[in-house]
Structure formats: structure tokens, C-alpha cells
């Protein structure tokens, strides 16, 4: 079956849990991502308007405490937290993936746009560049290209991303018999490396989905979204 760009976008959105059907039970990250997607669809996009909408959702349940704390700081001061004040997490990467749905055809805008959006929600460089890595991976998959790790590494190296994040991504194409990390308590960069490893090596959607289960909700959402972008909505059925 040949997938269209619309199929891949639908798969990404389904994996992220975005769309008009999200309701009171949606996580804060889902709500922020949905708002970002709406605002990026407007011809008069304004970052200030995005932030104003985001901070109205402080009472939502967030999977990532880093995002919740950053949002509280934005609401209190009108500015993002100081660099590396806390973090990192993977929540900003989940939100920023919604941006990839609109920016994937303009790589330069995607990298700078996602980094600056993520910086509002995670002050740690690992959090910001994890969002960039996920956005670049999504961009490649949405374009129908299954091999995304080299492109991700090129972008991270060109932007002098943290070495330990680069190291985890660099290991993703290396086959190991067991998964590289054991659970949600692992560092965000290790979890992201495991998501990339699963997508690179495990092939079929059921095997990838099984591998994502022990990684915790944020890494699992990222993995499902990237799988949906690669294989379309049917990959996430069931």
C-alpha cells in the first residue's frame, strides 16, 4: 500500500493523540500540541498568542514535570526559565512534534522553530535538542524516507547539541540483542535513543509498539507518533 503525505500526517496526529476529539482527559502535552498545530495553521502565526493560550492550561495534568514547571514560570514572569535551570524531559519533544506536522517541508524553519518552541517548555539543552531530533526524524518519515538517524545526527552535530544526546542517537543503528535501556526512569536521551533503535531495527509495527510499552508515556507517545508518520494510521490500530 502506497502512503500519501496525508496518510502519514494522519498517522503522526493519531500517535500524538491530537485532533478535535481530545477532551477533558487529554494530557497537558496533548493540549499544548493541539494548540500549537492550530496556531501554525494560521497565516498570522504569533508566538505570543501560542504562549498566552498555553499558560491558560496550567491546571491540566502533565506527564512531564519539566513542562509543567516551565509553563508555571512563563505564567509568572512572562519569560522562559533560565537555561539549564532544571530538566531535561521529553515533554517538550511531544509538544514540538505537532510543529513538525506543519514545518516538515521546510527543514531550516523546522530546526530553528522547534528548538525555540521547545526552549519555552524545557530550559535544558538536552530537552531542546531532543525535540529537534524528534522533529527532524518526523520530517524524514513524513517525506516517506525511512532512514532518519543520519539526518538527525547531522543536525545535532551542526548545532553543537550535547555530546551525550549525540552519543545515544549515534548508537541507535547499532544492533543489540536486548533493548538499550530498561524503563521510564532512564535519562531522556537514553529513552529517545531506544525509541530510535526500535524504529530502526524492529521493522513491523507490532514489534515496535511492544518495545515502546516499558519506556513510559512520553517516550511511548513519541514512538507511536513516529511510527504513525512512517506507516500511517493502520500501524496504530488495535
Length of the chain: 238
What pLDDT sits at residue 25?
Answer: 61
Binned at pLDDT 50, 70 and 90, residue 211 comes out as very high
Which of these, 177, 169, 125, lies nearest to 148 by C-alpha position? 169
Q: Over the range 119-135, which residues count as b (16 or more CB within 10 Å of their CB) and which as e?
A: bbbbbbbbbbbbbbbbb
Does residue 97 belong to any structural domain of this protein?
yes
pLDDT exceeds cutoff 90 at 232: yes
Does residue 100 belong to any structural domain of this protein?
yes
Does residue 238 belong to any structural domain of this protein?
no
Q: Is the dihedral of CA 180, 161, 138, 18 positive or negative?
A: positive
We report the CATH number of the domain holding residue 146 as: 1.10.4080.10
**Average pLDDT score over residue span 111-133:** 97
What pLDDT sits at residue 105?
Answer: 84
Does residue 11 belong to any structural domain of this protein?
yes
State the Cα–Cα distance between residues 161 and 189, nearest whole angstrom: 12
Domain extent, residue 193, equals 5-233
What's the domain count of the chain?
1
Does residue 225 belong to any structural domain of this protein?
yes
Does residue 110 belong to any structural domain of this protein?
yes
**Average pLDDT score over residue span 92-97:** 95
What pLDDT sits at residue 79?
Answer: 92
Amino acid at each position: 500500500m502506497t502512503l500519501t503525505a496525508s496518510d502519514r500526517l494522519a498517522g503522526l496526529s493519531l500517535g500524538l493523540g491530537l485532533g478535535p476529539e481530545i477532551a477533558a482527559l487529554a494530557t497537558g502535552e496533548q493540549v499544548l500540541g493541539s494548540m500549537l498545530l492550530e496556531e501554525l495553521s494560521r497565516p498570522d502565526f504569533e508566538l505570543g498568542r501560542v504562549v498566552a493560550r498555553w499558560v491558560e492550561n496550567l491546571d491540566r495534568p502533565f506527564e512531564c514535570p519539566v513542562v509543567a514547571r516551565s509553563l508555571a514560570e512563563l505564567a509568572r514572569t512572562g519569560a522562559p526559565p533560565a537555561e539549564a535551570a532544571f530538566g531535561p524531559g521529553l515533554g517538550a519533544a511531544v509538544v514540538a512534534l505537532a510543529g513538525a506536522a506543519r514545518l516538515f517541508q521546510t527543514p531550516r524553519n523546522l530546526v530553528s522553530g522547534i528548538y525555540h518552541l521547545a526552549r519555552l517548555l524545557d530550559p535544558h539543552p538536552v530537552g531542546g535538542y531532543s525535540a529537534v531530533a524528534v522533529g527532524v526524524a518526523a520530517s524524514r518519515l513524513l517525506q516517506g524516507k525511512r532512514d532518519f538517524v543520519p539526518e538527525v545526527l547531522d543536525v545535532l552535530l551542526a548545532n553543537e547539541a550535547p555530546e551525550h544526546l549525540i552519543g545515544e542517537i549515534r548508537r541507535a543503528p547499532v544492533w543489540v540483542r536486548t533493548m538499550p535501556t530498561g524503563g521510564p526512569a532512564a535519562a531522556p536521551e537514553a529513552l529517545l535513543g531506544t525509541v530510535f533503535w526500535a524504529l530502526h531495527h524492529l521493522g513491523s509495527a507490532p514489534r515496535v509498539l511492544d518495545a515502546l510499552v516499558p519506556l513510559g508515556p512520553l517516550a511511548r507517545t513519541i514512538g507511536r507518533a513516529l511510527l504513525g508518520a512512517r506507516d500511517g494510521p493502520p500501524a496504530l490500530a488495535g
